[in-house]
Amino acid sequence: MEPDTTGDPAALRILLLENIHAVARHALEGQGHAVTALGTSLKEAELIDRINGEGISVLGIRSRTQVTARVFEACPGLVTLGAFCIGTNQIDLDAAGAAGVAVFNAPFSNTRSVAELIIGEIIMLSRQLGDRTREMHQGQWRKVAAGSNEVRGKTLGIVGYGHIGRQVGVLAEMMGMRVVFHDIVQRLPMGNNRAADSLDELLLEADFLTLHVPETPLTHRMIGEAQLGRMKRGARLINASRGTVVDIPALAEALRSGRLAGAAVDVFPVEPEANSSDDFQSELCGLPNVVLTPHIGGSTSEAQENIGREVAGAIARYLTAGTTAGCVSFPDVDLPRMPGTHRLVHVHRNVPGVLGEVNRIIAQHQANILAQVLGTNARIGYVIIDFDAPVAEAICADLGGLATTIRARALA
């Protein structure tokens, strides 16, 4: 395996695809890199040609560019890949790890956007705003107070008290709501938020129930007929997590029967792949006080900008310090850089004895290790090593001769 001693990050060429927010380009150019930004995605063959033909070390994509095993195998010069989006399904992460390419995404950059949508929906549902505005657009004037409530003093139940759930809890409390949550992990309550003893207890208490869990076997249809049956008569349900978390026919029935007084749904078990004028169907369509949105919870300009800033920042930290915090293809390793130190990073296959081999080579150079941090997963080992003398490049060259080395990089 050829060692990569491109220690000077100013020398790197970066290709950004799919209209990534300009903040990313500016951040990376500010680090001295040469950035080419395109508005489109590229197909596999063209992607390989451009990466190799232009000497690209860093690639940035959003959700449309497929980065396959073939791309990683054919492009040994690729050092890191930024997924300027939330998901990473479009990337073969195993192949990325095996090729020594660190992949970063931005899973939490739209947290605030989702939380704000939930707050808006709580008020929409309690004032039947969806129905009133539709009627007005149809020329009907229906001034009614029945079924409309203030949210102050009402109880918001949050299922899944993670990044989004906690933000929602903080904002809801600022509107005077009582906030109770349920999570399978013990979570520190924010402000005056309170943990419920169980999901069942939460269902009994909530005037509004909002779901913020991931899609897992445990959360699959976790809100079905039985759970809806436990909810207060006239309660409202909000789901902006994943479409499979709620049993839609059971929800439609709870709305038709009047047990629930409204629902806001942003995510669906099956969602159209692209924007269209007639490609959406759901049993929820046409039901009163039901707000339906096309998976826009995290879709704001601010979230796009946050994604640009966060992923560009992660790439810059990886290039200059080897930090893999938040990396989805390597183990998570972080070691603060001390002035006057010389650093190398080494990606290797996780088999017994590699660190011994690495340290044997270091000893041959009579180099003094100031700090060494190793992280491993089932297949990959990643180590950051700091020296007190400029020996990193020479050691990197020797590490390249080890059969277990995937990539070795000396950092400036």
Structure tokens at 334: 């972080």
> Of the two residues 113 and 126, which places its CB atom closer to ligand NAI in the complex?
113
Residue 139 CB neighbours (<10 A) = 6
- Integer Cα distance of 262 and 247 in angstroms: 15
Q: Find the catalytic residue in 163, 221, 230, 295.
A: 295
Binding range to ligand NAI, per CB under 6 A, among 92-100, 214-222, 278-286, 365-373? 214-222
Active site residue 295: yes
Local structure of 210: helix, strand or coil: strand
Angle CA 199–200–202, to nearest 5: 65
Is-contact 181 169, C-beta < 8 A? yes
- Integer Cα distance of 78 and 52 in angstroms: 9
Per CB under 6 A, 119 contacts ligand NAI: no
How big is the chain, counted in residues? 412
Binding mask 295-324 for ligand NAI (x = CB under 6 A): x-xx--------------------------
Binding range to ligand NAI, per CB under 6 A, among 88-96, 104-112, 172-180, 335-343? 104-112
Active site residue 134: no
What residues numbered 238-277 form the site for ligand NAI, per CB under 6 A? 240-242, 266-267
Residue nearest to ligand NAI (CB): 162
Minimum Å gap between C-beta 389 and ligand NAI is: 43
What residues numbered 155-174 form the site for ligand NAI, per CB under 6 A? 159-165
- Integer Cα distance of 373 and 153 in angstroms: 51
Per CB under 6 A, 328 contacts ligand NAI: no
> Of the two residues 6 and 108, which places its CB atom closer to ligand NAI in the complex?
108
Minimum Å gap between C-beta 107 and ligand NAI is: 7
Binding range to ligand NAI, per CB under 6 A, among 136-144, 293-301, 311-319, 332-340? 293-301
> Of the two residues 57 and 210, which places its CB atom closer to ligand NAI in the complex?
210
- Integer Cα distance of 15 and 21 in angstroms: 13
Structure tokens at 44: 């596999």
Angle CA 212–217–222, to nearest 5: 50
Query: How many residues of this chain interact with ligand NAI, rule: CB under 6 A?
Result: 30
> Of the two residues 81 and 238, which places its CB atom closer to ligand NAI in the complex?
238
Binding range to ligand NAI, per CB under 6 A, among 42-50, 95-103, 170-178, 210-218? 210-218
Q: In this structure, what are the phi and psi dihedrals at residue 216, rounded to the nearest 5 degrees?
A: -140, 170
Active site residue 242: yes
Minimum Å gap between C-beta 111 and ligand NAI is: 6
Helix (H) or strand (E) holding 245: none
Per CB under 6 A, 65 contacts ligand NAI: no
Per CB under 6 A, 183 contacts ligand NAI: yes
Residue 10 burial (10 A CB sphere; 0-12, 13-18, 19+): exposed
352: left (phi over 0), alpha (psi -120 to 50) or beta: beta
Where helices occur in 188-338 by DSSP H, the ranges are 199-205, 225-230, 248-256, 301-321
Q: Find the catalytic residue in 2, 150, 225, 271.
A: 271
Minimum Å gap between C-beta 201 and ligand NAI is: 13
Sheet strands side by side (includes 194-195): 194-195, 178-182, 155-159, 208-211, 235-239, 260-265, 290-292
Per CB under 6 A, 208 contacts ligand NAI: no
> Of the two residues 155 and 241, which places its CB atom closer to ligand NAI in the complex?
241
> Of the two residues 3 and 297, which places its CB atom closer to ligand NAI in the complex?
297
Is-contact 354 372, C-beta < 8 A? no
* Catalytic positions: 242, 271, 295
Q: Which residues bind ligand NAI (CB under 6 A)?
A: 108, 110-111, 114, 159-165, 182-185, 212-216, 218-219, 240-242, 266-267, 295, 297-298
